[in-house]
Amino acid sequence: MKLKLELSTGTYTTDKEDLKPSNIAVNEDCELKILDFGLARHAEVEMTGYVATRWYRAPEIMLNWMHYNQTVDIWSVGCIMAELLTSKTLFPGTDHIDQLTRIMFLCGKPDEEFLEKINSEEARNYIRSLPAITKKNFKDVFSGAHPDAIDLLERMLELDADKRPTATEALAHPYLAQYADPSDEPIAEPYDESFEDKELSVEEWRRLAHKEVNMFEEPKIRLIHAGISEIAQDMQSRMILEQHVPVSKNR
Radius of gyration of the chain, Cα coordinates, nearest whole angstrom = 20
- The residue among 82, 71, 31, 79 whose CA lies nearest residue 53 is 79
* Active site positions, annotated: 18
Amino acid occupying residue 119? N
- For 41, which DSSP code? B
CA distance to 14, 27, 90, 149, 177, per residue, from 56 (Å): 17, 23, 9, 19, 25
Instruction: For the chain, report the end-to-end CA distance as a whole number of angstroms.
Output: 18
- The residue among 25, 2, 34 whose CA lies nearest residue 176 is 2
CA distance to 58, 84, 154, 182, per residue, from 145 (Å): 23, 11, 12, 26
Tell how strand 32-34 and strand 24-26 pair up: antiparallel
